[in-house]
Structure 1
């Protein structure tokens, strides 16, 4: 599959903003603090975290045949060596084409390339079965569910917490800097 990873760029903002057609879709992607519609101010605030030293988060774009096809963010807890995958999205026009797992794998390998990080975690709404299948395929283990954790309109959504350690991915631990 022709999929490459590059840092999120200013010109990606308008593309990403067009992927979420309603409040529920935006909250499913970005969490309960997002405001619909996704706008320039919210996107610039996300990017600002990547410009700090050290960065609080990294924003990535997945390109397929040179076209923006996926987006993901990694929040970095430098003190505890924990990275959190967040705000993962595949272009609606590309969904169902098998992009999620290779895109996520690139993000994961990027985290493991940094010896400071020993754990990757994520939250996912329990109804998002496609995402959960992808996370499990990559080796993530469910660690718990926060029931009725988020209000979206009159609905309440459960949030599952997943995590992955380097030793749980064959071949990762021995390739990490400082391993051995």
Structure 2
């Protein structure tokens, strides 16, 4: 299986919009930064921020996922908006995607610290992050709300990069 990360381009907007196909998924993926339905205009405005580095995850020449790296300071980055397309789930590709991003963060951006935020009820994602060495450093209780329910947000960090 051939996998790679490549720059996310305006030509990819439609693919991402197609993947994010429900209000709940939109909120899980993008938090309050995006409204549903996702639009090209929202994406263009988001990518105007030079600290956001977006990537398409490609498996055997097929778009299979999306991920962002947000630069918080010189060597500290946050992993954001991790997404694996439905047809590619259940194949352990999230770990492949994340490992490729971690490697890129180190080699191209000289990252020494990576963090991420994940909703506490997203157990599958949390287990994946923990398997890659991320540890919970804080829990922000009830910080996000969706359809009248409070969602806790866990902050995870990986301090020592190879």
Q: Could you tell me how far 1:19 is from its partner in structure 2?
A: 1.3
Runs of at least 5 residues in structure 1 that lack an aligned partner in the other structure:
50-54, 173-180
Question: Is 1:108 equivalent to 2:99 in the alignment?
Answer: no
Alpha-carbon distance in 2 for matches of 1:32, 1:43: 13
Residue 32 of structure 1 aligns with which residue?
Answer: 32
- Relative to the length of structure 1, the TM-score reads 0.85
Give the 3 Å change call, closer, same or farther, for CA 40–115 of structure 1 in structure 2: closer
Mapped contact 1:12–1:68 kept (Cα < 8 A): no
Q: Does 1:56 pair with 2:58?
A: no
Q: Which runs of no fewer than 5 residues in structure 2 stay unpaired? A: none
In 1, the alpha carbon distance for the partners of 2:107 and 2:138 equals 27
With structure 2 as the length reference, what TM-score do the two structures score?
Answer: 0.94
The count of aligned residue pairs is 162
The CA distance in 2 between the partners of 1:77 and 1:114, in whole Å, is 15
- Taking the aligned partners of 2:2 and 2:119, their CA distance within structure 1 comes to 29
Classify the secondary structure of the residue corresponding to 1:120.
strand
Q: How well do the aligned residues superpose, as a CA RMSD in angstroms?
A: 1.4
Displacement of 1:98 in angstroms is 1.4
Alignment counterpart, residue 93 of structure 1, candidates 87, 90, 96:
87
Could you list the runs of 4 or more consecutive aligned residues of structure 1 that deviate by over 3 angstroms after TM superposition? none
